[in-house]
Amino acid sequence: MVISLASRRQQEKQEKERENKEKILKAVSILMSVADNTMTPKQVRQSIKDIINNLKDEKIDAGVRAANAISMLDELTQSPNVPSHMRVTLWQVVSVLESIRT
């Protein structure tokens, strides 16, 4: 009974980590498409690349990476340099990152 409970918890933890990794990859994919867009201003592109690098840093827990990225994206979406259509995409990334469970 105890072994099966510990085993179940371990499986749940692994499943949660797998889901979080998929969500981070989805967020990175969306951000890369924005960064690769020729209409993206240079300053915005650099900020997005910094966010991508932070999200890819697996030394840090997924929840912490997501929280840091959300904070950076929130600041970026308030910048007048970001076109309004791009803000919507960045908010979509925020939504994906907010669903990461720790």
The pLDDT tens digits of the residues spanning 12-71 come to 989 999 999 999 999 999 999 999 999 999 999 999 999 999 999 999 999 999 999 999
Residue found under tokens 């970026």: 76
Could you tell me if 18 and 94 are in contact, meaning their C-beta atoms sit under 8 angstroms apart? no
Q: Between 32 and 8, whose confidence is greater?
A: 32
Terminal Cα-to-Cα distance of the chain (whole angstroms): 26
Q: How confident is the model at residue 7 (pLDDT cuts 50, 70, 90)?
A: confident
> pTM for this one?
0.89
Q: Decide if domain 19-98 falls under CATH 3.10.450.50.
A: no
Q: What distance in Å separates the CA atoms of residue 85 and residue 16, rounded to the nearest whole number? A: 32
Q: By CB neighbour count within 10 A (0-12 exposed, 13-18 middle, 19+ buried), where does 55 fall?
A: buried
Q: Using the predicted structure, report yes or no on whether residue 1 has a pLDDT greater than 80.
A: no
